Structure 1
């Protein structure tokens, strides 16, 4: 297929600015964690344009399942909702720390110093491995009322944000691992792929064995 440069720009812009419809924000309680390699984790996530009671309920339920599964951050696609929303609390405990909601977030600036740190992910139960990320980032987002705000994040908060932001980009944490680190969890990823096939009766939508050499790691910066 071949299209003009103008058509490509138009398509790219429409994809980036696609707004979620009311049906995109409908959900059933209780929410469930989507596990790798479900294709929902790689799908396009739409911007949220409606800030209502349904959105507040979704946020509340995301925090609820995050705490119940011992998480400190959660993105909407991880609960089957392909919209640009994340929640996190670095303390990982209700009533402790600060609950942060970021809607339609963007990275405004990242700092050059990078840190290696062991990460886990609710969509990859029991799997932990080192990922290198910028130590600090400046972000812009909307809150639950739709108001825009900026935040300077560093340390664990910056890491949690970047991990969840990657989910909104369709990037998974193993995409950012070195081949050496990835080799250490390859068998566990393949086990999740096999489990998916057994549960769905369908082939895994992706295979870590075949995709890692060709994967394109999303860069840091504005999006």
Structure 2
């Protein structure tokens, strides 16, 4: 099922999320979030973007250029930010319009639980690392706007509100 995506400045988007509990409802939510992400079309979607304040996000960083390889991360943790800091373009389904330049680590070691309750850990690099850091921020109530200089933020907000 395609879910409505909340848009900035909805206050849910700036609210930190609670831990997710594995259940059939959570699995159904993850499936719906993947459907919503692909339909949007986006490369990642966090639970607060669909109004659920849970530590859950889905992503598929490369599906637009190749086969679908979805990931579902339940209660993800950033274990380590790795490599150089890089600045690159980021868009957000909850902030339609502007693409902003955001600084991120070029690699990240993440730990999470999968939908079967199994522990997972991976080092993500390239765009997958950027996508994971972006979605992880949503779980803490942080938006790309929060990572911009005051001038860049004002320009991005004006573009959204125009």
Q: TM-score, normalised by structure 2?
A: 0.92
Q: What is the aligned partner in structure 1 of residue 145 from structure 2?
A: 174
Q: Does the aligned pair in 2 maintain the 1:117–1:132 contact within 8 Å? A: yes
Structure number with the higher strand fraction is 2
Alignment of 1:120-159 (within 5 A): 120-159=91-130
TM-superposition CA deviations, 1:135-169 (whole Å, max 9, x none): 00101110011211111001000000000000000
Q: Is 2:5 aligned against 1:33?
A: yes
Write the deviation string for residues 92-133 of structure 1: whole angstroms up to 9, x where unpaired.
45x814111101001111114011111000001112110010
| TM-score w.r.t. length of structure 1 | 0.68
Q: Which structure 1 segments of 5+ residues have no match?
A: 1-28, 193-223
Higher relative contact order (CA 8 A, sep 6+): 2
Asked if the contact 2:63/2:69 (under 8 Å) is kept, the reply is: no
Q: Secondary structure at the match of 1:133?
A: strand
Local SS of the residue matching 1:126: strand
d(CA) in 2 for partners of 1:133, 1:62: 24
Counterpart in the other structure of 2:24: 53
Distance of 1:131 and 1:170 partners within structure 2: 16
Q: Deviations over 1:46-102 (max 9, x none)?
A: 1012x2322221111101111111100000000000000000001245x81411110
**Contact 2:2/2:33, CA 8 A, preserved across alignment:** no
For 2:79, the equivalent position in structure 1 comes to 108
Q: Tell me, yes or no, if the aligned pair for 1:71 and 1:92 is still in contact at 8 Å.
A: no
Aligned to 1:77: 48
- Partner residue of 1:86? 57
RMSD across aligned C-alpha pairs, in angstroms?
A: 1.8
Structure whose residues are more often helix by fraction: 1
